[in-house]
Amino acid sequence: MAKQKDGITDLTKVLISAAKKFSNQEYSRLQSVIFAMLHGVTYGYDTMDQRFLNESHDIKFIHTAEKKFKKIKKKKHKDNIVYIDFSKEGIKDDA
């Protein structure tokens, strides 16, 4: 499977993608989970319905948003500083 050029499945593609991005420990965990699922472990999803897709989408959304928020928090924005002049000359009172 690893060196074959023909018959590459979505499973092979996702494993290749994970191999490039995951640490050895993360990849090993992925292997174990897929292996267990192929042998009948359901991880709490007893029926084939939309619930897994919805929950996995939510997990991705939450953790992607968290990562983006941390990036924004790290940046130091100098261009969005508003200076307000409260001095007597800056206030015009028509009364």
Per-residue pLDDT of the chain (95 residues; tens, 9 = 90+): 566 666 789 999 999 999 999 999 999 999 999 999 999 999 999 888 899 999 999 999 998 887 777 666 666 555 666 656 666 655 555 55
- C-alpha to C-alpha distances, 36 to 41, 48, 63, 77, nearest whole angstrom: 5, 16, 25, 47
Q: What pLDDT was estimated at residue 92?
A: 56
Q: What pLDDT was estimated at residue 17?
A: 95
Calpha distance 65→74 (Å, rounded): 14
